[in-house]
């Protein structure tokens, strides 16, 4: 359950209410066990619940300390508050919401839009649109990205509505519980149907953002599987165990199969060999599927986003399944 409340300075903040009914196995268990091990709240949230909210931690409606022992049937209620800063300008613009609950929202990001405000994009980023969406709903949230996508990459991008939710999702990624699958159109026809790139990545020291696959860099692990081979290019499924900047683009280029349309690691605009009117004019990478456990309830969530029109056109024209 989520509510909106205001501080004495009229600054809005969101209030997330978590509840738990103690079962037989919880008899004699301290409240802190539920807070720390079931919900995995961070110390910052626990402190706010204890000291900044009058009814922040209650059992059966009575304010308690975290060492309070539970009995079967007790109802634990914890309030998490979270300020929403003013640094992102709310803006209009469509957003394709694939999933939303009290703690998370997943957007199908179009290619060509930056995720966060940056130089030249102070009010037209995806975060600005999301801030505008939350403003329309009357929900003040800080825009917290879980993972990242480059400007030209399309597909699923997850955001957290609280610091705790983001922390739990980051923990899931480290444990392999939160997974993401990418689809890419790569130049050339792969000799092998699948493979692994276990090659470190480092930044080139020439003043640009380009990365290179080279020993001495940060560990980077990418696995790939060819879905369909076309004439001159392939549709490839990719997963990454690390999140280095431009990782997929660097690794595919390193093994001789740069992504179609990639201006930095490939050959830029790619024209369909049999249909000149069909072009890829951006890096052909799409975050296709995402799976995770809901951070507080634990139910499994599995999401997909179909290939965008520019990538799908290549597959359709060549007789692919997309």
322 residues of the chain, pLDDT tens digit each: 444 333 434 445 677 889 999 999 999 999 999 998 888 887 777 887 888 778 899 999 999 999 999 999 999 999 887 765 557 888 889 999 999 999 999 999 999 999 988 777 778 899 999 999 998 988 878 788 998 899 999 999 999 988 888 989 999 998 999 999 999 999 998 989 999 999 999 987 665 678 999 988 899 999 999 999 988 899 999 999 888 989 999 999 999 999 999 999 999 999 988 888 889 999 999 999 999 999 998 899 999 999 999 999 987 766 555 4
Helices (H) and strands (E) in the chain, counts: 6, 19
Architecture of the CATH domain 97-175 = 2-Layer Sandwich (3.30)
Q: Which CATH class, in words, describes the domain spanning 179-317?
A: alpha beta
- What DSSP designation does 30 have? B
Name the segment(s) of the chain with CATH classification 3.10.290.10: 2-83
Q: Where are the alpha helices (DSSP H) in the chain?
A: 31-33, 43-51, 126-137, 163-175, 247-254, 309-317
Nearest Cα residue to 159 out of 180, 177, 141: 141
pLDDT at 81: 78
Nearest Cα residue to 58 out of 35, 42, 89: 35
pLDDT at 319: 59
pLDDT at 257: 97
Specify the fold of 2-83: 3.10.290
**How many angstroms separate the CA atoms of 110 and 291, rounded?**
20
- 67-102 b/e (C-beta count within 10 Å ≥ 16 → b): ebebeeebebbbbbbbebeeebebbeeebeebbebb
- 128-151 b/e (C-beta count within 10 Å ≥ 16 → b): bbbbbbbeeeeebbbbbbbbebbb
- What DSSP designation does 218 have? B
Instruction: Please state the separation of Cα 227 from the chain's center in Å.
Output: 24
User: Sign of dihedral through CA atoms 263, 265, 271, 277?
Assistant: negative
Residue partners of 108: CB distance under 8 A and separation at least 6: 96, 97, 98, 154, 155, 156, 157, 305
What phi and psi values does residue 134 have, to the nearest 5 degrees? -65, -35
Task: Assign residue 309 a region (left: φ > 0; alpha: ψ between -120 and 50; beta: otherwise).
Answer: alpha
Name the segment(s) of the chain with CATH classification 3.30.2350.10: 97-175, 179-317
Q: Which residues are catalytic?
A: 150
pLDDT at 140: 76
């Amino acid at each position: 359950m989520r509510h909106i409340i205001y501080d004495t300075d009229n600054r809005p903040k969101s209030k997330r209410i978590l509840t738990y009914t103690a079962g037989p196995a919880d008899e004699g268990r301290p409240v802190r066990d539920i807070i720390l091990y079931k919900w995995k709240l961070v110390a910052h949230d626990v402190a706010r619940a204890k000291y900044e909210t009058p009814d922040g931690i209650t059992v059966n409606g009575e304010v308690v300390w975290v060492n309070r022992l539970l009995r079967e049937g007790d109802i634990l209620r914890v309030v998490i508050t979270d300020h929403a800063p003013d640094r992102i300008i709310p803006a209009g613009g469509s957003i394709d919401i694939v999933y939303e609950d009290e703690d998370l929202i997943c957007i199908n990001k179009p290619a060509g839009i930056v995720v966060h405000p940056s130089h030249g994009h102070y009010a037209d980023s995806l975060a600005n649109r999301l801030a505008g969406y939350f403003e329309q709903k009357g929900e003040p949230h800080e825009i917290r990205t879980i993972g990242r996508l480059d400007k030209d990459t399309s597909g699923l991008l997850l955001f957290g509505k609280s610091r705790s939710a983001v922390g739990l999702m980051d923990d899931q990624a480290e444990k392999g519980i939160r997974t993401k699958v990418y689809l890419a159109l790569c130049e050339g026809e792969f000799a092998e149907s699948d493979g692994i790139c276990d090659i470190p990545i480092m930044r080139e020291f020439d003043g640009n953002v380009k990365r290179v696959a080279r020993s001495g860099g940060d560990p980077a692990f990418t696995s790939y599987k060819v879905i369909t081979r076309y004439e001159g290019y392939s549709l490839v499924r990719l997963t990454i165990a690390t999140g280095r900047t431009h990782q997929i683009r660097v690794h595919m280029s390193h093994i001789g199969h740069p992504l179609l349309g990639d201006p930095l690691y490939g050959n830029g605009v790619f024209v369909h060999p049999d249909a000149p009117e069909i072009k890829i004019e951006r890096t052909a990478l799409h975050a296709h599927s995402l799976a995770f456990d809901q951070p507080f309830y634990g139910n499994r969530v599995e999401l997909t986003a179909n290939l965008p029109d520019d990538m799908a056109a290549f597959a359709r024209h060549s007789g692919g399944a997309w």
